[in-house]
Amino acid sequence: MDRKYAILGDIHANLEALTAVIEDARGRGVTDFVSVGDVVGYNASPSQCIKVMREIGCVTVRGNHDHYCSYNESLDDFQPLAASVIAWTRRQLTEDDVKWLHDLPYQKALGGFTLVHSTLDMPERWGYVFDTLAAEANFSYQMTSLCFHGHTHVPMIYEKQREVMRVEPCKIKITFGPKFFINVGSVGQPRDSDPRSTYVLYSAKTKELDFIRVRYDIETAMDKNMKAGLPERLALRLAQGR
């Protein structure tokens, strides 16, 4: 059986985006859902998104928003906008939601690939990978040929000793030998100037990897944010993909 994985990242409590992506993935014959973290934060449906993730059996690793929303730690190091939404999100979660987030691992290996939110060298430090230099540091800790990550909300492929940027939907064949560090983009808050959700479809049998873009009901997601009293900027950026 060919296992087809839908690899999701940075859902950020955007229920409209998450449900659209799941529907699209099921239409493409996906057998497994996995996530590189940040299920919550920034948008208005944190508990609902956790419920959906659990219902579809999505294997998930911990993102920085998942961490700070489930641990009562100081938010002094956070950008003020993000900190205000984390504080709001903490008040929306049930005890069961908090436990689920609290129990997420920092990284997970399965099906011949690895999942992490930020980097494998120090996943708990939430470092960002924006260039080949940062990606190269990660490769020393990468034990599988493929590692999927998120955190920057921008789809990107880093191949060991080479960088390839993928902004438009594309399909590539993963060759044996090189290591690839792949940012799957964002389901719930894209930041590459394309407001459509992004996820990765990966076939374990054919080794084909495809970046998929999905349209969703952005207006409803924006309206939910505004009605929840979240900062207006968070609603507006959804339409801008920034």
pLDDT per position as a tens digit, 148-158: 999 999 999 99
CA nearest neighbour of 5 among 104, 108, 166, 113: 113
When mean pLDDT is compared across 73-77, 106-110, 195-199, the lowest value belongs to 73-77
pLDDT per position as a tens digit, 204-231: 999 999 999 999 999 999 999 999 999 9
* Distance (Å, whole) CA 10 – CA 89: 15
Identify the pLDDT of residue 164. 60
pLDDT per position as a tens digit, 37-93: 999 999 999 999 999 999 999 999 999 999 999 998 888 877 888 889 999 999 999
Q: Strand 32-35 relative to strand 4-8: parallel, antiparallel, unpaired?
A: parallel
When mean pLDDT is compared across 62-66, 144-148, 158-162, the lowest value belongs to 158-162
Q: What is the mean pLDDT of the chain?
A: 93
Residue type, 211: F
- The pLDDT of 139-148, averaged and rounded, is 93
Instruction: Report all structural domains of the chain as residue ranges with CATH numbers, in order of start.
Output: 4-240 (3.60.21.10)
Sequential DSSP letters for 169-214: --EEEPPSSS-EEEE---SSS--SS--SEEEEEEETTT-EEEEEEE
* Distance (Å, whole) CA 167 – CA 33: 22
Confidence check: pLDDT of 167 > 60: no
